[in-house]
Amino acid sequence: MGNLIIKFKQRKIREIPKEKIISIFQFTFNLKNNIFKDPINIPEIYFLIYISDNGKRALYKSQEFNKKNISSNIIDLDNESLTINGNKNTPLYIVLFCPYLNKNNPIGNAEFNLSLMENNLSMDKITKLDLLSSKYDNIGTVSINYNQKPKITFIDYLRKGMQINLDIAIDYTASNNDPHDNPISLHNTDPRYPNDYERSIESCGSIVAFYDYDQLFPVYGFGGIPISPYNPTNSVSHCFNVNFKQDPMIKGIENIILAYRQSLSKVTC
């Protein structure tokens, strides 16, 4: 018997660069009863988030709510959008609207900034602000639950093993015009030039296809009349295989274009 020696080193967790941090917000509004004539049947309320940028630039608009105590969805905002020239003290505003009570003007607002949020995050506390209003005095409060997360990019998803599949559907409806009788048809069959569909398949398909691991792509047609014996009833089909085989899979973009060209003699638009 021998000895098994295991050596390991602990990897240091790399600090996430500031430019790759996203701010996460959830807003909870607690409104006072005195602003509503009927505290049970609450009119529609929504809120906006603005940044003070030589005026006010909207960053987010919420859905509409029909209740006095509102909890928003989780909202992701890029840190760059929350500052001007990187200044974390740039004023941000939460503005509450209720068109039924005040058609064009907000019924309440509160001011905060990214610096305040990050400071409260380090102190493990929720930011609580008064909702101010020139008409209703203090109409209630808004609590801001704040956190941060790394910004995930498309490349990050690919690195973690995300699979992408390219599916293609080709429109053979009469709106494209007959490729055999009409020179302006989108299915134009002039052998000297690729038509609009061929250009689209090549330019868009080749980009997405790069990330498809097996290079097999299902290609369907719709809105055309496949010619017999592929379509004994001679009726419009809204889903048929462009290669006229049982398996719609075609390998490679160049073969998709070839199958598409061949289909134009087998489908009536």
Q: What is the pLDDT of residues 44-99, one digit of tens each?
A: 889 999 998 777 889 999 999 988 788 999 999 999 899 998 899 999 999 999 88
Q: What is the pLDDT of residues 192-228, one digit of tens each?
A: 889 999 999 999 999 999 989 899 999 999 999 998 6
Q: Specify whether the CB–CB gap between 259 and 247 falls below 8 A.
A: no
Fold of 18-150: Immunoglobulin-like (2.60.40)
The band of 29, judged by pLDDT with boundaries at 50, 70 and 90, is very high
All CATH 2.60.40.150 domain ranges of the chain, comma separated, are 18-150
Q: Which residue has the higher pLDDT, 236 or 161?
A: 236
Q: What is the pLDDT of residues 149-204, one digit of tens each?
A: 988 888 888 888 888 899 999 999 988 887 776 778 889 888 888 999 999 999 99
* Separation CA 107–CA 95 (nearest Å): 8
